[in-house]
Structure 1
Amino acid sequence: MKYAFISDIHGNAVALEAVLEHIKKQEVDKIIVLGDICYRGPEPKKSLELVRSLQTEVVKGNADEWIVRGVKSGEVPEDVLELMNKERAWAFTQLEPSDTDYLQGLPHSIQLDLEKVKVSVFHATPDSLFDIILPNEEDEIIEKSLMTTEAQVYIYGHIHVPYIRFLKGKIVINTGSVGLPFDGLSKASYAIVECNAGNIKTSIERVTYDKERVIELYKEVGYPNAEMMSNIIYHGKR
């Protein structure tokens, strides 16, 4: 079985379409979505429609939670709280009540069995939508934060920095971000896990998409924070 894991689309439907087209060529059996579907991009509705059309398992991200109920004090630096809620309010107006109901009802984690390989899937950690676990964390932090369920592979998103790490006979994977990469490479990112007769093959895939079109869309739709978000899209980092 070959699975693709995509996360952190952030309303960038242009990047998502490019990734889905790339996945088709990889002969993937199934796509799993790790959250942050709509918020901070110019096409929240289209991004959600594309995800829902996959008819697959989707876990909730912090940005999905924000779409439903807004960004609260203490969740982001106070100097950007007002702006981020303006962005959230804009995205909220682009969606239908059925869309926000869908986001609200998403699970925080799922467990998969890929050819007898147990895979734990979540957005940030199994217990939090907001905790940040970086690639260079100490082994003890990785174990305590991410490896809290019995599995052989742990897959998450949230930090927008893809990596694969091997720890005590287990595999930890961050998918990176489809729509808003932060690692300085302005290409969409996703992960593939292939399991066959107990063997495991993993990879991080990077996909080129039309960044200029996304930047145009931020302006066309009157996005509240178009300049900053366009810079992130162009440079692939904050």
Structure 2
Amino acid sequence: MKIAAISDIHGNIYALMKVLEDIDDERVDLVVCLGDLVGYGPHPNEVVALIKRREIPCIKGNYDASIVDGAFTFIRDTSINSFALPWASEEVRASNKYYLSELPTELNYDIKGIKIKFTHGSPNRINEYLFEDSNETKKVMENLEEDILVCAHTHIPSYKKFNNKTFINVGSVGKPKIGRPNATYCIININEDKNIDVKFKEIEYEYKRIVKDAQMLNFPSQLVASYESGNE
């Protein structure tokens, strides 16, 4: 069973289209989206429409939840978010807000007897950052009932074994923090022997297109520059 896990698209339709092209080439059995379809980028409605059209199972990210309630409930109150949250709240159509509001906060699969939990932040909180070497991650993995935890939210891909448990963070399609502008996602392959193979993919896309769109909409220069640098 070959699974592609994507997350943190953040209104970047160009990165999403390129990643989905690569996923199609990989001939996966299942695509799962870990949320944050909206926020930051200038094309939130297009991203939601494409995820819906492809019928990709999706969970709710912290920015999705914040757009729905229109407040800093699940996101940090920063200078960038003070622009991006009200802009996206105004831009996202009512039907798409309803779609985001109805998304689950986790997805669970049993594949060949291997249990997988998909979350955005952590199983505890939608906006908890899980870095591979943090104490929070260690505690989460100690308490994890499933065999694999697949999460996102940090925008940094990572993979680590915790005894017999597997921790995976899939990175970000639309707002990477890897020091390069490329989109990242993860492929998880569970073979007949129940061995788990994890592969991260880094995909180039025409990031200058989103830079141009953001500039035309007078997005903050710090936000525009992040698409070029691959940093926050």
Contact 2:65 2:74 in 1 (8 A): no
Within the alignment, does 1:166 sit opposite 2:167 as a pair? no
Q: Which runs of 5+ in 2 are unaligned?
A: none
Within the alignment, does 1:211 sit opposite 2:207 as a pair? yes
Within the alignment, does 1:232 sit opposite 2:226 as a pair? yes
Q: Which runs of 5+ in 1 are unaligned?
A: none
Secondary structure in 1 matching 2:133: coil
Q: Which moved more, 1:145-154 or 1:120-129?
A: 145-154
Q: CA deviation at 1:105?
A: 1.1
Q: Using structure 2 for the length normalisation, give the TM-score.
A: 0.93
Tell me the C-alpha RMSD between the 2 structures. 1.7
Query: Which structure 2 residues correspond to residues 10-89 of structure 1 after superposition, within 5 A?
Result: 10-72=10-72, 75-77=75-77, 80=78, 84-89=81-86
Q: CA separation in 1, counterparts of 2:9 and 2:70?
A: 18
Contact 2:148 2:166 in 1 (8 A): yes
Q: Which moved more, 1:52-61 or 1:68-77?
A: 68-77
Partner residue of 2:187? 192
Q: CA separation in 1, counterparts of 2:129 and 2:58?
A: 20
Q: CA deviation at 1:147?
A: 5.4
Secondary structure in 1 matching 2:200: strand
Q: CA separation in 2, counterparts of 1:74 and 1:58?
A: 18
- CA distance 1:69–1:194, shift in 2 (3 Å): same
Partner residue of 2:6? 6
Percent identity over the alignment is 29
- CA distance 1:64–1:152, shift in 2 (3 Å): same
Contact 2:180 2:228 in 1 (8 A): no
Q: CA deviation at 1:50?
A: 1.0
Query: Which structure 2 residues correspond to residues 131-142 of structure 1 after superposition, within 5 A?
Result: 131-138=128-135, 141-142=136-137
Q: Using structure 1 for the length normalisation, give the TM-score.
A: 0.91
Secondary structure in 2 matching 1:127: coil
Q: CA deviation at 1:71?
A: 3.2
4+ runs of 1 displaced by more than 6 Å? none
Within the alignment, does 1:106 sit opposite 2:103 as a pair? yes
